[in-house]
Chains A and B, each alone.
Chain A
């Protein structure tokens, strides 16, 4: 286990389709975060899990977005009825306390 893994690396989808991304954190990390990054901007917080509990969600996370972390291991982020404004890099990060390790991200393009 050398880091945080995200799958897929790239996803192109048609507007209105649903997409799901997966994140596998570093195994001993109990904290897991999802961020979204658009071109020329810093990452924006989406949601946070401690173990399997989703403890915080950003107002950016509309009801079309849902995230899970069953059994406190991997996490999935689903976007329903995608819109062009959802096009971005979706980054996952994990940590024990502070000092995140980020994954390489999933780049979503909605056409």
Chain B
């Protein structure tokens, strides 16, 4: 089955800096890669996703890049703000059921 590795497990940045979280996946058939943000005690929320036919996608301060050859994808957050502090999960999916395999998460702390 699919295996998703996520790094780093914790990331601390100063407000205004950029943050990058990286994930690798094992199943070359995976074709959908979402990112979720989970604040303490709350539900995971989809913040951005990318399909395998696209190399990069951007939404305001967040962007995701995908390298299918290397089987890795990354989340980029620019101009970080304290409210960006949360756990971020990457995930991968292949097939019509959209079953997701998640990474173990990255705890991002943005220091004011």
Contacts and interface: CB of A to CB of B under 8 A. Distances in A.
B58 interface: no
Contact of B34 (A48, A98, A104): A98
Interface in A8-48: 31, 33, 35, 40-45, 48
A98 B99 contact: no
A40 to B, nearest CB: 7
Mostly, the A contact residues are strand
Q: How large is the interface on A (under 10, 10 to 19, 20 to 34, 35 or more residues)?
A: 20 to 34
Interface in B2-58: 4, 6, 32, 34, 36, 42-46, 49
A55 B13 CA distance: 43
A99 B49 contact: yes
- Which among A45, A55, A97 has the highest number of chain B CB atoms within 10 Å? A45
Mostly, the B contact residues are strand
A51 B19 CA distance: 39
Nearest to B102: A42
Given A100-B46, A101-B46, A103-B43, A40 B34 contact: no
A81 to B, nearest CB: 27
B93 interface: yes
B89 interface: yes
Interface of B: 4, 6, 32, 34, 36, 42-46, 49, 89, 91, 93, 97-105
